[in-house]
Amino acid sequence: MTKIYLVKEKEKKILNFYPNVYKDDVFNVVGNVENGDIVDVVDKEGAFVGRGYVTANTSALVRLLTLDDEKIDSKFIFKKIEDAYIKRREVLKETNSFRGFYSEGDGIPGLIIDCFDKYISLQIRNSGLETLKDEIIKAIKKVYKPNGIYERSDVENRTIEGVEQKTGIIYGEIPQRVIMEDNHVKYSIDIVDGQKTGFFLDQRESRKFIKNYITKETRFLDVFSSSGGFSMRALKDGARTVTAIDKDSYALTLAQENYNLNECQGNFQLKEGDALMMLDTLISGGKKFDIITLDPPTMVKKRIDVKRGRDFFYDLCDKSFKLLEKNGILGVITCSYYMVLQDLIEVTRMAASKNKKRLEVIGVNYQPQDHPWILHVPETLYLKALWVKNS
């Protein structure tokens, strides 16, 4: 087996459960290295450190799978996927849909398994993991016994690595819609064409959080609504009016489906277009809202993008404060690892000061337990939500 020799003391972070061996960490390579190969990582003296697979076209040469001298085979893959499923049994009390496997958070970097009732949405996020794909599919069949598996490996990262994006049915059948039930709200899920792998499963805690503040008088504004995750929560809990903004017309079509599916009674308005422009239109129309959620798609994919991201969030908050009623609540949410909570706090505070708003922090929450945050792997924490009240 090929051996990857580490620069002196670089083994420390690996032994502290960090899964990426970067090319700059490597002192020497003994043997041939092909993308997807299983290799041993050793310290400068040749002592075993860990075992993983090669991702040759990225800055991370090796993604660690284990720190033990064990075989990477079908049994290994099955145990990883089974263990991750067992850990999530509590989540099934709240929903029939959840993230069954979360990449580094569950011990196989690059692997995403989302379960929507009896159907699986599978994502292989990097080129090196392709060599283990057959074993992964076999394990999914054994653990989940699904009616169908659909591949959603349509992520930009694959293109960057020089491999094609892949989508399509891998096993069984995939219906046009799957009905997800999440804390007594129903959602119509399109696994094939829906955003991400079909739905934003990671917002469960935020949807639960805001439920406590919705009344029959609430005027709710859901910015970057997608298929209406927050909108349906607000309507189900009796909000008087809900306005959903998104530039994706198909996402808004799904939001309307979800409105009908839940037999909601509140006034529901869909607005298609650029968020900042739509906010300006609402401001000029003299509109006011009691709760506003800002949950944009990630635009900060590299550290160099953080300033641009902060500026964008500042503009969103600035406009939102002009729409927020006295004692109203604003949720500012990022799904970017590089945008930290402190970034959200600072841009929200600056925008509030400009608008002479005094804010009380009423909550901070992160991704739910089926998206495990591993303390030793900072990248596993990506979703942060700051909730403030205009007091």
pLDDT in tens, 26-52: 999 999 899 999 999 999 999 999 999
Residues 158 and 209 reside in one and the same domain = no
Residues 252 and 357 reside in one and the same domain = yes
149, β-bridge pairs: 120, 171
Amino acid at 200: F
Q: Tell me, rounded to whole angstroms, the distance of Cα 134 from its chain centroid.
A: 24
Residues 258 and 326 reside in one and the same domain = yes
Whether residue 297 lies inside any domain: the answer is yes
Residues 95 and 158 reside in one and the same domain = yes
Whether residue 298 lies inside any domain: the answer is yes
**What is this structure's pTM?**
0.94
Per the CB < 8 A criterion, the answer to whether 124 and 133 are in contact is yes
Over range 253-262, report the average pLDDT. 95
Whether residue 184 lies inside any domain: the answer is no
Whether residue 187 lies inside any domain: the answer is no
Q: Given strand 384-390, what is the order of strands in its sheet?
A: 267-272, 241-246, 219-223, 289-294, 324-334, 384-390, 359-366
- What value does the mean pLDDT of the chain take? 95
Residues 6+ apart with CB under 8 A from 307: none
* CATH assignment of the domain containing 78: 3.30.750.80
The confidence band for 8, taking pLDDT boundaries of 50, 70 and 90, is very high
Residues 17 and 158 reside in one and the same domain = no
Cα dist from 15 to 49, 107, 129, 369, whole Å: 7, 14, 22, 24
Residues 80 and 214 reside in one and the same domain = no
- Residues annotated as catalytic (active site), given as ranges: 335
pLDDT in tens, 154-200: 888 888 888 888 999 999 999 999 999 999 999 999 999 988 888 99
* CATH assignment of the domain containing 24: 2.30.130.10
Residues 233 and 331 reside in one and the same domain = yes
- Side-chain-side CA neighbours of 108 within 13 Å: the count stands at 30
Residue 347 pLDDT greater than 90, yes or no: yes
The whole domain housing 306 covers 200-390
- Token pair recorded at residue 336: 């970017």
20, β-bridge pairs: 63
Residues 273 and 302 reside in one and the same domain = yes
Residues 47 and 96 reside in one and the same domain = no
Residues 207 and 128 reside in one and the same domain = no
